[in-house]
Amino acid sequence: MQYRNLELSTQVLLVGLLLVLTASMLMRGGVVLWRKLAQVPHIYPRSWTAPQCRLMNRFCVVVGMVVGALWLALFTVVPKMPTNWPFGFLEATSLVVLLFLTNAWLILVLPRDWGALGALTERFVATLVMLATWWTLMIGGTAWMLAKASSTPTPILTFGPVVASVHIPIWPGVDAAS
């Protein structure tokens, strides 16, 4: 399926967003790797126990695995998405959303002083619930967006007088005249 062409301002905005987010992701990835190689540890609040700190690390790993699965899903469904010229709007916006999520995950993984956030991180359960809720909403929304963008639109059948002057097929690939 082909949509109408994108305006120049939309093209410039999407390409600019893609460039900024890709550069940001590469820089953050480099910082994460450098800090891992330099063995900079996470500094957790004193009120957190050792098992809670391990759970937070596992949470970060699980989020990373799910973001990776979303990247695989994107590359799987891109051929099914409708396109525009010179590139697909849905593909570009899906890519922008996944780059945002990847940047957010890199920020989550980046070794930092969790205690510096103050009262937000003093209670482990509140911090974990807040992070889990945010990631669930973002990952669920992205998965829904990818599923919706890759599905074929269902035809809408209306009864009554014909108002359209352009031939619209009832079903893709099937002509009403045959």
List, for residues 50-70, the tens digit of each pLDDT value: 999 899 989 999 999 999 999
Check pLDDT > 90 for residue 18. no
Q: Output the pLDDT for position 154.
A: 65
* Residue 45, both tokens: 């609040």
Q: Output the pLDDT for position 2.
A: 43
Q: What is the mean pLDDT of residues 143-157?
A: 77
Report CA Rg, the chain: 22
pLDDT classification of 169: cutoffs 50, 70, 90: low
Any bridge partners for residue 2, and if so which? 83
Q: Output the pLDDT for position 139.
A: 95
> Percent of the chain beyond pLDDT 70?
76
List, for residues 81-97, the tens digit of each pLDDT value: 766 556 667 787 888 89
Q: Output the pLDDT for position 30.
A: 87
List, for residues 109-134, the tens digit of each pLDDT value: 887 777 777 777 778 898 899 999 99
98 near 74, Cβ under 8 Å? Answer: yes
Q: Output the pLDDT for position 3.
A: 47
Other C-beta atoms lying within 10 Å of the C-beta of residue 20: 12
Q: Output the pLDDT for position 141.
A: 93
Nearest to 110 by CA among 168, 40, 54, 12: 40
pLDDT classification of 5: cutoffs 50, 70, 90: low
Report the mean per-residue pLDDT for the chain: 80
More confident residue, 91 or 23: 23
Check pLDDT > 70 for residue 76. yes
101 near 142, Cβ under 8 Å? Answer: yes
- Give the range with max mean pLDDT: 73-77, 97-101, 122-126: 97-101
